[in-house]
Structure 1
Amino acid sequence: MDIKIDNFRNIGISAHIDAGKTTTTERILFYTGVNHKIGEVHDGKATMDWMDQEQERGITITSASTTVFWSGSKKNKNFYKINIIDTPGHVDFTIEVERSMRIIDGVCMLYCSVGGVQPQSETVWKQSVKHGVSKVIFVNKMDRVGSDFYKVYNDLKKKLNANPVPIYIPYFLNNNFYGIIDLINFKLIVWEEKNNGMFFDFIKIPEDYIEISNKWKNNLIESVILDNDVFIDKYLNNKIILNDEILFLLRKNTIENKIQPMLCGSSLKNKGVQCLLDSIVDFLPSPLDIAGTVGYDVFGKKVTIKPLETEKFSALAFKVVNDPFIGQLIFFRVYSGKICSGSFIFNSTKNKKERLGRILRVHANRKEDIACVGAGDIAAAAGLRSFYTGDTLNSVDNFVVLEKIFFPDSVISQSLIVKNKSDEEKIFIILEKLNHEDPSFKFKVDNESNQIIISGMGELHLEVLVEKIRRENNLELIIGKPKVSYRETIKKNINNVEGKYIRQSGGRGQYGHVIINLGVGSKGSGVIFINNIKSGIIPKEYISSIKKSIEDTARSGVLWGYPVLDVVVDLIDGSYHDVDSSENAFKIASSIAFKEAFKRAHPTLLEPVMLVHTEAPNESLGAVISNLSGKRGELINIEDVSNEYKIIKSNIPLSEMFNYSTILRSLTKGRGSYSMSFNFYSEVPQNILKNII
């Protein structure tokens, strides 16, 4: 099907865990004709949750992609091509959301009508704001007892500083969710119970809902005409603002991120999803509506990539998957130009050229070969060896590098032991592949214990990855207890610390000599290197070696083997030898100086502190708060979720949170839940520090 780029929509579906993302996507697949049967999450048969572990756990673990075509709920539109990324809701897999936000143009934010704006909802909202992604809002689960569309509306404004504009509001009959009121066309939409809600009718709004419908219709008009003098004058003069004008203003303001159209429904009960599809094509941007993607040329100069097929080919690899039948798959978003299978492409990130074997359209775990792919589209490539997440794919005559994808640091570690000695070499190949798939997963060999240490974003993250290794490779593994990824830092400034490396061995010797100041840096600053060498005391060609040596030493840790954070290294003096000085000698001298200065600067440990959201029933609130306080927790606030539940927001050291899910289940009789995400690093108290050391 030949569809123009202005009818492309690259979107994500994001929300808190269990808000109904995958259920909503299943309905989208059904109503667009991709699937002829609806797969349910609770039956373990959801199309997009195709991994065994996703079906067993009932959660989304990896972002899945699919493509659908939509011509409107009334079949009155040209066909639109919608590339959909269904992202995980659990905070341990936040990297999947991060890299998806980097390459989509719009996103559908789902909210539970009972839970409202939940913790992970805030996280994904911030990610969408960071990447400038336009949003529509779908309030799901309106059929549930305790649902409150207007509370979610207020939560969005209060907690997220959002500007939601309802374009549909819920209609209840005898306290049961019955349909939705279309404020633009001013009609009530009701769905047939049979045929999975495939058919629906537009009927007159009942009298008892006219007043509230008029109120929100006026709110809609006032929201979209804001900043538009022509339409403000028209409205103030009591002239009718036509539906086409409302649609035009809604689209314009949504693309500019001034407003977020707000819908409602129940995906499980098959109500409201067709309206969501209409809103996706009506209000979210096409690739042509985006200002352009930033890249850098060979001179490091910023350039804008235009989304046109007539431009040179340029794309970003945003995901790597190792398929058991095809091999390594590189998912990429095309920002300009066109490429066909069999062409040569250039990896400008690594300066390598490869032949593009196959281009695939991916639908969850199903693949379809396509001949070519052009600007604005999303596809996958098979047979590429040098490309990883964040790399730029170019035509061979294009040398631009696109902005990379940010990956958070891991916060938790475990030891990994392979039972069978003959499998030890195999495990490193497997771990390397996993790191390419998921850059937030890291591994290394501990120098002292000789154990393999794996690191990730949380207990569930590592648990899922280890189980994946077991199943796919039939390996017997032993997992150690989780360990916190601490950081080393200093509390005192130290000046004039010398590092010398001098060796004479008959021929050419080794000579490196540096003097540094080591200072306390600001929070979150990492390691800052300042070069204050003047008059050629140390030749310029050795400065980069000195900087790299200090950064490498800091990365490995000085006293306890943890990376060093928040220090300022000032290179102030030194000397060199015309014959004996070398890069290696200055590297060793720099490392000596840095380690010595660090030891004298009152070193200490920093621990990761997590932002924890604990949801608990009212009757268990006291016990839960008491338990959190005993975990060295800092209570931030308590918020109402509903009449029965509260959310306790607190900062708690990660070391206190292991096995918390079991404790919380016990305290709340199985009714409590929690989520946590990394917040900041804080100094470890002295009594705890002694135990760690």
Structure 2
Amino acid sequence: KGVVDLITMKGIIWDDSTQGMTYQEVPIPADMVDEVNEWRQHLVEAVAEYDDKLLEKFFEDPNSITEAEMHEAIRKAVIDISIIPMMCGSSFKNKGVQTALDAICRYLPGPLDIESIKGTHPDTGAELERHADAKEPFAALAFKIMTDPFVGRLAFFRAYSGHLDAGSYVLNTRTGKKERISRIMQMHANKQNPIEFIEAGDIGAGVGFKDIKTGDTLCDEDHPIVLEAMTFPEPVIAIAVEPKTQADVDKMGLAIAKLVEEDPTLRVKTDEDTGQTILSGMGELHLEIIIDRLRREFKVEINQGAPQVAYKESLTKSVEHKEVYKKQTGGRGKFADIVFEIGPRELGPEDKPGLEFENAIVGGVIPREFIPAVQKGFESAMVNGPLAGYPIDSMKVRLFHGSYHDVDSDSLSFELAARIGFKEAARKCAPQLLEPIMGVEVISPDEYTGSVTGDLNRRRGIMKGMDTRGGAQVIKADVPLSELFGYVTDLRTITSGRASASLTFSHYAPVPRNLAEKVIEEVKGAAK
């Protein structure tokens, strides 16, 4: 029905007639007075422990502590992360929204409470900082791209410093190009209020830009800065989609393009063998929501295939290989000869996956202008691994010998030699299949712990530990994604709907040999 505010010592009741949009303050019900006093005492004690002046007042007379003093002390403690305020409410019934928003404004740190934001210079890499001050050069971070049916594309951004007028230009440090923000909107749920300018500390939405993506830094042209960019994990699950009718073909292409722009963790590609459109994302639920949005928001009717796991391949040993590419037709032919060592790459914590290419050619046996073509050939070949055509994440290639022909050799010949050489050599590098492993956290009542852990073990899960949280058991495990399709439904069945699970991508690990053979057979069978 309502809640009691322990600071003002009043009851709050929301009006059902306005669906919770209005509320009224009422005296505390008589049957709750004792309980309220007890919890008020706990609150005052917790706050007084943080502030010595309040502690003295608390021992003299707990009721002498004023509302303003309570708010001030709670704010300090929250900014210090010493206490976490809990609010009562129900978003479903639209109750408690106003009090939660008031608490956000009252207790959480404002732009002036935090230290200056740090960034780097895009050219020199030197560290720069910006303070929450309208007089400093403009710097903002785009954190969301959204497509609005009436306004078009909106870029939500948070201004960290400076002042930006509608209609002015900003520099996008990712592209190095200027962007014109023709209009600035202040967003209120699904309503937009046009505003003349935006200043440090504000959040707004820009309209009229050409190329802004999630995570881009927008700044003053004369004072460039790169704020901390967002890193997005690689997708781990994919589904094939195709339009139901010819009319849906163009609509589906446009709709997917808009969704990919909004969501950086969603990837799209076309399968060369089947011609299907493949959507890749972070999990079953993610792709279900994307499919639902295609149907509901974009009115596109589609057929979808079963989810597929995004496997990868890796090389486990190094081999040396000589590849000669020779083709003689009428006139000028093709010739390239390369000798290289190919094998696994050791990745450090800071290293990005990909190809580590080492040019160890001496004496000009391969001219310098052909070396980038060899590197390009290996990079493009990594997309199709030797086992089942899954991509290779990282590998190392050392090019150390070869030869060329004065007339017949060109860049394309060396690129093709690298591609063919990779296919031949990678098979000898003891390649193995890698599968995505998900970190699973299950919160379950005590009596179902045995059933839940047994089910996770059956799914090739490796138990990481157990904990207790609020009277429930928290079970943590690493489980291969291929074993987790439909897991949430199965978990509800096992626990009579009382357990919940969260799944996050953890890492890639080798697939057991017997299962790897099965996956490879299925892929090769489908290709035939």
- The superposition leaves residues 163-208 of structure 1 with CA deviations (integer Å, 9 ceiling, x where unpaired) of xxxxxxxxxxxxxx974655xxxxx733243666553789999886
- The superposition leaves residues 309-329 of structure 1 with CA deviations (integer Å, 9 ceiling, x where unpaired) of 333333222211111111111
Matches within 5 A, 1:51-450: 179=4, 181=6, 189-193=9-13, 198-199=24-25, 216-217=46-47, 219-221=49-51, 259-268=81-90, 274=99, 277-278=102-103, 280-287=105-112, 289-450=114-275
Q: Is this contact kept in 1: 2:115–2:131, CA < 8 A?
A: no
Call closer, same or farther: CA 1:385–1:669 in 2, change over 3 Å.
Answer: same
1:689 Cα offset (Å)? 1.1
- Aligned-partner Cα distance in 2 for 1:300–1:575: 40
- The one-letter code matched in structure 2 to 1:600 is K
- The superposition leaves residues 608-658 of structure 1 with CA deviations (integer Å, 9 ceiling, x where unpaired) of 111112233444443333222211122233333455x43322221111111
- Aligned-partner Cα distance in 1 for 2:387–2:305: 23
1:609: which partner in 2?
437
Q: Is this contact kept in 1: 2:168–2:180, CA < 8 A?
A: yes
Counterpart secondary structure, 1:353 = strand
Q: Which of 472, 478, 492 is the aligned partner of 1:665?
A: 492
1:561 Cα offset (Å)? 2.6
- Alignment identity in percent? 32
Q: Is this contact kept in 2: 1:180–1:265, CA < 8 A?
A: no
- The superposition leaves residues 363-418 of structure 1 with CA deviations (integer Å, 9 ceiling, x where unpaired) of 12111111111222211112222222223333444544443221111111111121
Q: 1:686 aligned to 2:510? A: no
Call closer, same or farther: CA 1:556–1:335 in 2, change over 3 Å.
Answer: farther
- Aligned-partner Cα distance in 2 for 1:207–1:281: 23
Counterpart secondary structure, 1:635 = strand
Counterpart secondary structure, 1:690 = helix
Counterpart secondary structure, 2:214 = coil
- Aligned-partner Cα distance in 1 for 2:413–2:73: 66
- Aligned-partner Cα distance in 1 for 2:288–2:40: 53
- Aligned-partner Cα distance in 2 for 1:246–1:571: 70
Q: Is this contact kept in 2: 1:293–1:335, CA < 8 A?
A: no
Using structure 2 for the length normalisation, give the TM-score: 0.80
- Comparing 350-359 with 445-454, greater Cα deviation is found at 350-359
- Aligned-partner Cα distance in 1 for 2:407–2:49: 79
Q: Is this contact kept in 2: 1:550–1:590, CA < 8 A?
A: yes
The number of residues matched between the two structures is 496
- Comparing 367-376 with 634-643, greater Cα deviation is found at 634-643
- Aligned-partner Cα distance in 1 for 2:290–2:496: 29
Matches within 5 A, 1:460-471: 460-471=285-296
Counterpart secondary structure, 1:199 = strand
- Aligned-partner Cα distance in 2 for 1:641–1:362: 37
1:288 Cα offset (Å)? 6.5
1:484: which partner in 2?
309
Q: Is this contact kept in 2: 1:412–1:483, CA < 8 A?
A: yes
- Aligned-partner Cα distance in 1 for 2:516–2:24: 62
1:221 Cα offset (Å)? 4.1
- What's the Cα RMSD here? 3.9
Counterpart secondary structure, 1:277 = helix
- Aligned-partner Cα distance in 1 for 2:156–2:214: 9
1:539 Cα offset (Å)? 5.7
1:478 Cα offset (Å)? 0.8
1:540 Cα offset (Å)? 5.7
1:599 Cα offset (Å)? 1.3
- Aligned-partner Cα distance in 1 for 2:81–2:107: 14
Q: Is this contact kept in 1: 2:373–2:414, CA < 8 A?
A: yes
1:560 Cα offset (Å)? 1.9
1:277 Cα offset (Å)? 3.3
- Aligned-partner Cα distance in 2 for 1:575–1:300: 40
1:62: which partner in 2?
none
Q: 1:638 aligned to 2:466? A: yes
- Aligned-partner Cα distance in 1 for 2:36–2:271: 70
- The superposition leaves residues 210-230 of structure 1 with CA deviations (integer Å, 9 ceiling, x where unpaired) of 9756753564348xx9xxxxx
- The one-letter code matched in structure 1 to 2:451 is A
1:21: which partner in 2?
none
- Aligned-partner Cα distance in 2 for 1:611–1:527: 24
- Comparing 575-584 with 453-462, greater Cα deviation is found at 575-584
- Comparing 453-462 with 259-268, greater Cα deviation is found at 259-268
Q: Is this contact kept in 1: 2:13–2:26, CA < 8 A?
A: no
**Of the two, which has the highest radius of gyration?**
2
- Aligned-partner Cα distance in 1 for 2:339–2:166: 54
Counterpart secondary structure, 1:473 = coil
Call closer, same or farther: CA 1:207–1:468 in 2, change over 3 Å.
Answer: closer
- Comparing 599-608 with 516-525, greater Cα deviation is found at 516-525
1:591 Cα offset (Å)? 2.9
In structure 2, list runs of 5 or more residues that go unmatched: 16-21, 521-528
Q: Is this contact kept in 2: 1:517–1:572, CA < 8 A?
A: no
1:564: which partner in 2?
392
- Aligned-partner Cα distance in 1 for 2:82–2:367: 57
Q: Which has the higher contact order (CA 8 A, sep 6+)?
A: 1
